[in-house]
Amino acid sequence: MFSKKAIKSAFESMMFVLGEPLEVKTAANVFGVDKGTAREYFRELQREYEEEGRGLAVREIGGGFQFVTRAENFEHVRRLCTPAREKKLSMAALETLAIVAYKQPVTRGEIEMIRGIKCDRMLEGLLKRDLIEETGRADSAGRPILYGTTKMFLRYFGFAGLNELPEIEDIERSVREPDESGGVRQFAIDLEGQV
């Protein structure tokens, strides 16, 4: 049996070596502890790093934990080297991504209905950046592809899970009664007819 201190210490070393988020499951298996305990240890480490204001932070990402730098230190890190960063997402890409994130699994048609404009190029770009992925096919006519967000999406925005997406329901919950879908579809067909 290992002491809690030893396990936490080992988790730190493991996170350091891996770089990528270390799955709680993997870490728990190493010590034969249950996932809940392992997650608790990770969260304790996270708190400790936070409270001590360390230059590293323990970030939770989709069921795993990883070391990241503290945002406040970014300017200092940049003096050392200029970290290569991807281009920021365009507003159109963010809109598309937001719809996928909140509505997943979602088809292209549904996204286009909300945005009122074609989204194929946006989806392509998001797929390429590994922020979204195909998660299956809908049962509706034509079996359209369903899209969902990836683990990369969580990492890109620093979300522990999808539950950390900002709340937007307070504006107005969109109601989509079943009998309305006919009208909605009609609009979609109109769109495609014009294209």
Number of residues that bind other proteins (CB under 8 A): 53
For residue 111, count other CB atoms closer than 10 A to its CB: 23
By the rule CB under 8 A, 108 interacts with other proteins: no
Segment interacting with other proteins (CB under 8 A) among 23-31, 41-49, 135-143, 171-179: 171-179
Q: Rounded to an integer, what distance in angstroms lies between the CA atom of residue 109 and that of residue 119?
A: 9
Written as one string, the DSSP assignment of 30-83 is: HHT--HHHHHHHHHHHHHHHHHTT-SEEEEEETTEEEEEE-GGGHHHHHHH---
- Of 163 and 194, the one with the shorter C-beta distance to other proteins is 194
Residues between 140 and 159 with contacts to other proteins, criterion CB under 8 A: 155-158
- Of 1 and 71, the one with the shorter C-beta distance to other proteins is 71
User: Of all helices (H) and strands (E), which one includes residue 135?
Assistant: strand 132-137
DSSP-derived 3-state class of residue 132: strand
Binds other proteins (CB under 8 A): choice among 32, 141, 174, 178 = 174
Binds other proteins (CB under 8 A): choice among 13, 51, 52, 91 = 91
DSSP 161: S
By the rule CB under 8 A, 65 interacts with other proteins: no
Q: Is there a contact between 62 and 151 (Cβ–Cβ < 8 Å)?
A: yes
By the rule CB under 8 A, 17 interacts with other proteins: yes
Torsion of CA 102, 99, 132, 39, to 10 degrees: -20
- Of 8 and 115, the one with the shorter C-beta distance to other proteins is 115
By the rule CB under 8 A, 80 interacts with other proteins: no
Cis-peptide into 105, omega within 30 deg: yes
Q: How far is the CB of 10 from other proteins (least distance, A)?
A: 15
Binding residues vs other proteins (CB under 8 A): 17-20, 57, 59, 66-72, 74, 77, 83, 85, 88-89, 91-92, 94-95, 97-99, 101-102, 113-118, 155-158, 165-166, 168, 171-172, 174-175, 180, 183-184, 187, 190-191, 194-195
